[in-house]
Structure 1
Amino acid sequence: MTLDLDFVRAQFPALQGEWTFMDNAGGSQVLRTVAERVSDYLLTTNVQTGASYEPSRISTARVSQSREAFARFMNCDPGEIVEGASTTILIRFLSEAMTGRLQPGDEIILTNTDHEANIGPWLKHEARGIKIRWWRCDPETYELDLADLKALMNERTKLVCVTHASNILGTINPIREIADIAHAGGAELCVDAVAYAPHRAIDVKALDADYYIFSVYKVFGPHHAVMFGKREKLLALDNIYHYFFDKSRVPHKLEPGNINYECAWGSIGAVDYVEDLGRRAGAGEGRAAIEAGFAAIAEQERALTARLMDFLQSRNSVRVIGRTSSAIADRVSTVSFTVGERSSREVVEAVDKARIGIRYGDFYAKRIVEEHGLTKTDGTVRVSMVHYNTLAEVDRLIAALEPAL
């Protein structure tokens, strides 16, 4: 399937300017329809939900529609959708809500490849006597070995936390296999999908994760986030809202202070957009369209990654951090590299002059950067592309990089 890039780029007002955006893992550009929805909500139904008067009924219905849209997007039931401001805050809420189920001596497995959002909230349980066990990647390949995970599992393991795709490596992890290992040992699985969600279709039923979280502002929407949780798992979590919310009040017991209604309504535009891409590729509606839309997205991004990777591998001074394959099954279009002993900051600032936005640093995946000696180069240079980027833009980036390498 081939994307109509003229159509795609016309949906994003920011792309009509002179800048090339390749820092998308930090936050994608926003669809015009998303901005229009946010504005529409604020101007026409900016009231509290749950009342009997008509504007409130409309507002309530709009929030419900956002859960229905994300249920299509993730292949789950609307009653399994929790919304919030960011993945960081949703995982913090999840961690707090699991407090009553984690007892001294219980164990949690974390990886050193994750964004801190899926590490820090769980480390707080150490003060209560919970043991943290680290699943570390290979120091040369940066790969997580499933055999190492199996060796860490025991009868006290209650939770395994892992990223679906690393926001620094771009590596796609085998979530279903990880879920099978966790569940075989009696543990649950929490997946940070922030760096995966803009690039591939999500099917939480096929993945069998217990909790699966991503940020909509990385998926062409507003500053909003979504967490899937298996219904029975959500019901078992503690209430973290007011005392009069009992444990059956899912999802509301996990959304203290309520969600951002205008962002919930606006986020539907991002789901609709992917469905539209699928319909344009010849698919039907709903899940079929979403899967077809992401198939077209994945192929476009594979071509972008291959063009950039071929260039980087041709330069002796460059070391790609992570997989060098551009295959759809192996990685997303987030590529990190270092240039000898040079500061990554210097490389990025040279590219800034060409009006191309990339980034350097640790990207809040600080532990892998520190443990693998990447702080001495100011972290890595990261190029994070999405489907609205073009091969011509990659060529412009290469031209800007060449004198800096």
Structure 2
Amino acid sequence: MTSLDTAFVRAQFPAFSEPSLQGQAFFENAGGSYTCRQVIDRLTRFYRARKVQPYAPYAASQAGGAEMDEARARLSAMLGVAGDELHFGPSTSANTYVLAQAFREHLKAGDAIIVTNQDHEANSGAWRRLAAAGIEIREWKIDPVTGSLDPQALATLLDDRVRLVCFPHCSNVVGQVNPVAEITALVRAAGAVSCVDGVSYAPHGLPDVAALGADIYLFSAYKTYGPHQGLMVVRRALAEALPNQGHHFNGTVLTKRFTPAGPDHAQIAACAGMADYWDALHDHHFGRSADGPAARAARVHDLLRAHETRLLTPLLAYLAGRNDVTLIGPAAAAERAPTVALVPVRQAPQDLAEALGRKGIMCGGGDFYAQRPLQALGIDPARGVLRLSFVHYTEEEEVDRLIAALDEVL
């Protein structure tokens, strides 16, 4: 198969057979996706049969620990990194905060960090607060018209004082997919470390973190069809160099260095269901393969992106023909994720979201923690935007319904 089998995909998600959701088209996936049955099944099994302290010398405990180890091993392999480079935490915001505290200890006054004003606040606010420790914060600004980040503008900010550059793989309102490999090469050449927020990109296909060249890569399992966990890759040499943020007796265990509190055993174990789902997608569409996990994940990544790009194209064409809404970000589907933020001319975004909800279109209006990019684009965050976001389990018929509903409410 070369095109996505959406019937097979939707059969993997219990939400699509849930009576209370019938007739509803889900267009708020940027805030969190539906959970696949593989994750739900693993989570249920853990709570029923393995909800004990893991790694103790009895069967239920050994089974629970093995599932946690399985999640780390399989997902890290799909991401193209070593198992001890993948860290789990309660959310991406929490992981970023803990990481920022490690850098607070690691850096010295006068060192510089570069952040952007394209970011969701999670990958910006925690770093900006380090100014209180004497760290210089430099801002890589978006184009005030397009919302895009220019790598050449970053080059002018880089010097021998910069230690860290934090930027998004994709903004949760601009939608443009940034050239991560190009940016991380610039950062590396300047002798700095790169931190990439992948929360708004990973739902559209797991990235090959090694190929991207990122030193740190963060994303959320609850947006990639899994439980409410944050996943964070920190390359080994950097993780070893940063100060331990966990209990002092865990400091020699790399995967515990950025876990101040005990991990959520059940949710980590359930993350292995994400790998089950990715493998099921691969085998259904491409057949079983002796290729490694990263290669199989790359095929699925391209399959999902192709499907989403095909569905996004008519929506963007429809919006281009209207003069009562302004699209944020690129007008070409291939250049962006299917996260579409709109500025209506007349109605309030929240009012439009409510009107669409009455027509079976589930979406949202607001600032989506993206106040900085909205302000940079001249948009009042208090008014916000209408955001329509979908992923690969969305069907063509649902996009058609969205367009028809927009035609009525606008």
Q: Normalising TM by the smaller chain, what interval?
A: over 0.9
Q: Which residue of structure 2 lines up, in the alignment, with residue 373 of structure 1?
A: 378
- 2:9, 2:208 → 1: CA distance? 24
Question: Which residue among 35, 39, 61 is the counterpart of 1:34?
Answer: 39
1:111, 1:162 within 8 Å by CA — same for their partners in 2?
yes
Question: Which residue among 193, 196, 206 is the counterpart of 2:198?
Answer: 193
2:38, 2:276 within 8 Å by CA — same for their partners in 1?
no
TM-score normalized with structure 2 length: 0.95
> Structure 2 stretches of 5 or more lacking a match?
none
User: Which runs of structure 2 are paired with 1:23-102 in the superposition (5 Å)?
Assistant: 23-102=28-107
Alignment pair present for 1:175 and 2:175: no
- Kindly provide the CA deviation profile for residues 125-184 of structure 1, in whole angstroms up to 9, marking residues without a partner as x: 111100100001001111111111000111110100000011111110111111111111
- 2:106, 2:157 → 1: CA distance? 20
Question: Which residue among 358, 362, 372 is the counterpart of 1:357?
Answer: 362
Relative to structure 1, is the Cα distance of residues 377 and 233 closer, same or farther in structure 2, using a 3 angstrom cutoff?
closer
Task: Report % sequence identity.
Answer: 37
User: Which runs of structure 2 are paired with 1:229-240 in the superposition (5 Å)?
Assistant: 229-240=234-245
Give the deviation of 1:376 after TM superposition.
6.8
Q: Which residue of structure 1 lines up, in the alignment, with residue 221 of structure 2?
A: 216
User: Which runs of structure 2 are paired with 1:3-402 in the superposition (5 Å)?
Assistant: 3-16=4-17, 17-18=21-22, 19-246=24-251, 248-283=252-287, 284=289, 286-327=293-334, 330-375=335-380, 378-402=383-407
- 1:136, 1:326 → 2: CA distance? 23
- 1:42, 1:308 → 2: CA distance? 42
Counterpart of 1:288, as a letter, is: A
Partner SS state of residue 202, structure 2: coil
1:34, 1:269 within 8 Å by CA — same for their partners in 2?
yes
Partner SS state of residue 103, structure 1: coil
> Structure 1 stretches of 5 or more lacking a match?
none
- 1:90, 1:204 → 2: CA distance? 17
- 2:269, 2:16 → 1: CA distance? 23
Partner SS state of residue 254, structure 1: coil
Partner SS state of residue 98, structure 1: helix
1:91, 1:121 within 8 Å by CA — same for their partners in 2?
yes
1:51, 1:57 within 8 Å by CA — same for their partners in 2?
yes
- 2:343, 2:305 → 1: CA distance? 25
2:325, 2:342 within 8 Å by CA — same for their partners in 1?
yes
- Kindly provide the CA deviation profile for residues 94-141 of structure 1, in whole angstroms up to 9, marking residues without a partner as x: 111122221000100000010100011111211110010000100111
- 1:289, 1:239 → 2: CA distance? 34
1:281, 1:292 within 8 Å by CA — same for their partners in 2?
no
Give the deviation of 1:27 after TM superposition.
0.2
- 1:240, 1:254 → 2: CA distance? 5
Give the deviation of 1:371 after TM superposition.
2.8
Counterpart of 1:3, as a letter, is: L
- Structure 1's consecutive aligned runs of 4 or more residues displaced over 6 angstroms after TM superposition are none
Partner SS state of residue 294, structure 2: helix
Give the deviation of 1:50 after TM superposition.
2.9
Tell me whether 111-120 or 281-290 shows the greater mean CA deviation.
281-290
- 1:163, 1:389 → 2: CA distance? 24
Give the deviation of 1:54 after TM superposition.
2.4
1:108, 1:159 within 8 Å by CA — same for their partners in 2?
yes
- 1:167, 1:190 → 2: CA distance? 17
Counterpart of 1:181, as a letter, is: L
- Kindly provide the CA deviation profile for residues 72-114 of structure 1, in whole angstroms up to 9, marking residues without a partner as x: 2211110111101111011111111122221000100000010
- Kindly provide the CA deviation profile for residues 248-302 of structure 1, in whole angstroms up to 9, marking residues without a partner as x: 3211121122221111111111222122111222252523322222222111101
- 2:248, 2:83 → 1: CA distance? 24
Give the deviation of 1:373 after TM superposition.
2.4
Partner SS state of residue 338, structure 1: strand
- 2:381, 2:241 → 1: CA distance? 45
Counterpart of 1:258, as a letter, is: G
Counterpart of 1:272, as a letter, is: D
Tell me whether 130-139 or 53-62 shows the greater mean CA deviation.
53-62
Partner SS state of residue 310, structure 1: helix
Counterpart of 1:63, as a letter, is: M
Partner SS state of residue 322, structure 2: coil
1:278, 1:294 within 8 Å by CA — same for their partners in 2?
no
- 1:297, 1:331 → 2: CA distance? 13
Tell me whether 95-104 or 85-94 shows the greater mean CA deviation.
95-104
2:208, 2:298 within 8 Å by CA — same for their partners in 1?
no
- 2:384, 2:341 → 1: CA distance? 9
- 1:160, 1:200 → 2: CA distance? 23
Partner SS state of residue 186, structure 1: coil
- 2:235, 2:261 → 1: CA distance? 23
